[in-house]
Amino acid sequence: MDKLLYGVAYYDEYMPYERLEKDVQMMKEAGINVVRIAESTWSTVEPQDGVFDFTHIDRMLAAMQKGGIKVIVGTPTYAIPTWMARKHPEILAITPSGQNQYGPRQNMDITNTDFRMYAERVIRKIMEHVKDNPAVIGYQVDNETKSYGTSGPNVQALFVKYMQAKYKTLDNINHIFGLDYWSNRINAWEDFPSMNNTINGSLSSEFAKFQRQVVTQYLGWQAAIVREYKRPDQFITQNFDLDWRGSSFGIQPDVDHFAAAKVMDIAGIDIYHPSQDKLTGAEISFGGDLTRSMKGGKNYLTIETEAQGFAQWTPYPGQLRLQAFSHLASGANMVGYWPWHSIHNSAETYWKGLLSHDFEPNPVYNEAKTIGKDFDRLSPKLINLKKKNDVAILFSNEALTGFKAFGFGWGVRTGYNEVLRQLYDGLYHMNVGCDFVDPTSLNIENYKLLVVPVLYAAPDSLLQRLNRYVKNGGHIIYTFKSGFSDENVKVRTTHQPGIINEALGIYYSQFTVPENVGLKGDDFNLKPEDKKLNTWMELITPTTAKVLAYYDHPVWGKYAAITENTYGKGLATYIGCVTTSAVTDKILADAVKKAGLWGTDQQLAFPLITKYGVNQAGKTVHYYFNYSDKEVNFIYPYGNGKELFSGASVSSNSAMQLEPWGMKIVEVN
């Protein structure tokens, strides 16, 4: 990529009146240099079965080309037209809640062969039509793809085939998944029941894994079709999305991002985050670090983020700028808003775009103009930022799903991403850059510090590998529940935490729920309320580990809560209970120091966020962001350089000041 992309999603189809020329003009004024089109417009492109109409695409391509704006074309497949639902009602997915009804997007069974036939045809028709247009720089296959819970008879049949291929015999399956329990044993393949009401969390986790494979396969299938047509200079991407809690929050349970990203040329993501007083930058950083890690540190595209979004997200002055450059600081080469204009009908009427419903300039649009100008001007300095981190978070979709099935036992069924985010946000707040790895990653051993939340389900081989990593000098922070079950989500029959107890120097076989339990015997120097525990505690006995904290409780006080163990040349920390972030912050800071990674950036702290990387010219670029409504002052500790917005020289150890929601970027000479 040779130019930072500043983009919007654009839908000529949705316009209440003819706007195209006026819109292009307004985009250009705002420095918008790329639009994303055509995704979710199948009913317009193919108004009836086999009848194609490229009017809107043609109009947009022509106007954009004329205006010098690049285009990313999306395949339209994630929302099916009315005629298809009528002709093939069976394309509407059967989920555990019954068969979907027409209306929403993402309601189809992506394994349905008729659907695949239609999807392939429309993709080929569009590709034939647009591939040679010089404005088109890339393609987005589908959008925020998942399996959407499809689990009707055909999907169940596919799953049985998958199980046959993977486990060969029913004896094997019965044993591995413990199907004798409550008479769930399967003694003939034809008896294999639907997974929709299974009580077996191991089996439901396997079904979830199978469904993620369906997604990977489907995206690979679409990408392969597009690849037959695309020019060498055009890329293929996907708009991945994150686990959602009112905004982008955590690891996506329904997609194996690392696997699915393999067939993309470049990774794309949508990141939606709280705003106004709740804007912290954590989601931008989290989503960015994850997406950059999908393809091993390659720069990525923030395909969608909010301009105005929900009413409660209407940005304060300065926030849109702060956000845009925060994406770049994590390694994004594109910042794209969804959508260009606020839509006048249907579900997302109140998910506002860069323009309000009146299409007129507004404060947010006006701020975007300054971003567009700066993107254009500073692109050579800021594009293709290379980032190198010594800390990684090991996440696992298998662990997430297994933990979702069992959680902390009965009743509480969620939490993986909450635990992961508590740790990630701790690192973010102390300005420790980090990457993400998953169990398939080959580069785990390259990091000095690994943070491993809730590795609930994992094969022996992974746990042994992590033991070796420590033995060879690595440092791991594990949380509770790690090592608990194997790759089939069968609880290990050994002491807990399974296998990794070797590196951790501890064991437990009992756990309970803390009521009025805190920590004691620690060096955390925290107030009692900050040491209160919630939800879960494991009754840990150290073998060789040093105890960092015991439980403060009349009965459980003899058990360890948090431990640290020297193992070979490395160090392994275990957090055996759910703590406040005050406690995990202490543990993280201590681990960063022990890993020799505590530097000048760590002397700053949220709301002053700093990020850095190396630009195309091989120079180091330091970003400083003020995520608060108060001015902040600090000493710039690096070598002489230039502040890029102002062009002013910056000398080492000089005082710097950031306005409320302000920022500076220093390129070191």
- Other Cβ atoms less than 10 A from the Cβ of 296: the count is 13
* Closer residue to a second copy (CB): 13 or 29: 13
* Closer residue to a second copy (CB): 347 or 635: 347
- Give yes or no for residue 191 binding a second copy (CB under 8 A): yes
Q: Tell me if residue 120 is catalytic.
A: no
- Give yes or no for residue 120 binding a second copy (CB under 8 A): no
- Give yes or no for residue 13 binding a second copy (CB under 8 A): yes
Contact (Cβ atoms closer than 8 angstroms) between residue 632 and residue 658? yes
Beta bridge mates, 600: none
Choosing from 39, 144, 306, 367, which is the catalytic residue?
Answer: 144
Q: How far apart are CA 420 and CA 458, in angstroms?
A: 16
- Give yes or no for residue 621 binding a second copy (CB under 8 A): no
- Give yes or no for residue 97 binding a second copy (CB under 8 A): no
- Give yes or no for residue 199 binding a second copy (CB under 8 A): yes
| Least CB distance to a second copy at residue 332 (A) | 26
- Give yes or no for residue 59 binding a second copy (CB under 8 A): no
* Closer residue to a second copy (CB): 138 or 497: 497
- Give yes or no for residue 76 binding a second copy (CB under 8 A): yes
User: Residue from 351, 424, 456, 636 that binds a second copy (CB under 8 A)?
Assistant: 351
Q: How far apart are CA 666 and CA 661, in angstroms?
A: 17
Task: Please tell me what DSSP assigns to residue 112.
Answer: -
- Give yes or no for residue 105 binding a second copy (CB under 8 A): yes
Choosing from 46, 206, 304, 367, which is the catalytic residue?
Answer: 304
Selected range binding a second copy among 22-30, 196-204, 261-269, 436-444, rule: CB under 8 A: 196-204
| Crossing angle of the two packed helices 416-429 and 282-294, in degrees rounded to 10 | 100
CA 433 vs CA 399, 616, 624: distances in Å: 24, 20, 14
Selected range binding a second copy among 154-162, 191-199, 260-268, 322-330, rule: CB under 8 A: 191-199
- Give yes or no for residue 347 binding a second copy (CB under 8 A): yes
User: Residue from 54, 249, 338, 359 that binds a second copy (CB under 8 A)?
Assistant: 359
Cα dihedral value 60, 64, 70, 76, nearest 10: 0
Q: How far apart are CA 205 and CA 202, in angstroms?
A: 5
| Least CB distance to a second copy at residue 511 (A) | 6
- Is the preceding peptide bond at 232 cis, omega within 30 degrees of 0? no
Name the residue type at position 252: Q
- Give yes or no for residue 69 binding a second copy (CB under 8 A): no
- Give yes or no for residue 446 binding a second copy (CB under 8 A): no
- Give yes or no for residue 102 binding a second copy (CB under 8 A): yes
Selected range binding a second copy among 373-381, 439-447, 486-494, 598-606, rule: CB under 8 A: 486-494
Strand pairing class (534-538; 577-578): antiparallel
Is 212 annotated for ligand binding?
no
Is 105 annotated for ligand binding?
yes
Site for a second copy in 293-322 (CB under 8 A): 308, 310-312, 314, 316-317
| Least CB distance to a second copy at residue 576 (A) | 13
Q: Tell me if residue 144 is catalytic.
A: yes
How many residues line the site for a second copy (CB under 8 A)? Answer: 103
* Closer residue to a second copy (CB): 76 or 641: 76
* Closer residue to a second copy (CB): 158 or 656: 158
User: Residue from 43, 154, 164, 441 that binds a second copy (CB under 8 A)?
Assistant: 43
Selected range binding a second copy among 126-134, 193-201, 472-480, 632-640, rule: CB under 8 A: 193-201
| Crossing angle of the two packed helices 201-229 and 113-130, in degrees rounded to 10 | 30
| Least CB distance to a second copy at residue 2 (A) | 34
Selected range binding a second copy among 60-68, 251-259, 425-433, 488-496, rule: CB under 8 A: 488-496
User: Residue from 25, 55, 82, 113 that binds a second copy (CB under 8 A)?
Assistant: 82
* CA dihedral for 336, 341, 342, 345, sign (positive or negative): negative
- What secondary structure does DSSP assign to 474-543, as a single string? -EEEEETTTTSB-TTSPBPSSSBSTTTHHHHTEEBS-EE--SS-EEES------GGGG--EEEEE-BEES
* CA dihedral for 12, 15, 18, 24, sign (positive or negative): negative
User: Residue from 299, 342, 467, 628 that binds a second copy (CB under 8 A)?
Assistant: 342
What's the chain's Rg over C-alpha atoms? 26
| Least CB distance to a second copy at residue 158 (A) | 18
SS (H, E, C) 304-356: EEECCECHHHCCCCCHHHHHHHHHHHCCEEEEEEECCECCCCCCCCCCECCEC
**337-359 burial: b if 16+ Cβ within 10 Å, else e:** bbbbbbbeeeeeeebbbbbbeeb
CA 166 vs CA 157, 160, 364, 370: distances in Å: 14, 10, 53, 55
Q: How far apart are CA 524 and CA 170, in angstroms?
A: 52
Task: Please tell me what DSSP assigns to residue 457.
Answer: B
Site for a second copy in 381-410 (CB under 8 A): 406, 408-410
Q: How far apart are CA 43 and CA 33, in angstroms?
A: 27
Is 245 annotated for ligand binding?
no
- Give yes or no for residue 279 binding a second copy (CB under 8 A): no
* 3-class DSSP state of 203: helix
> Distance between alpha carbon 638 and the CA centroid of its chain, in Å?
31
Beta bridge mates, 518: 552
| Least CB distance to a second copy at residue 326 (A) | 20
* Closer residue to a second copy (CB): 156 or 370: 156
Site for a second copy in 161-190 (CB under 8 A): 175, 177-188, 190
Q: Find tokens 């073998």 and name the residue.
A: 543
Site for a second copy in 493-522 (CB under 8 A): 493-496, 509-513, 515
User: Residue from 2, 232, 233, 346 that binds a second copy (CB under 8 A)?
Assistant: 346
- Residues with a known catalytic role: 144, 304
Q: Would you list which residues are annotated within the binding site for substrate?
A: 105, 143, 313
Residue positions forming the annotated binding site: 105, 143, 313
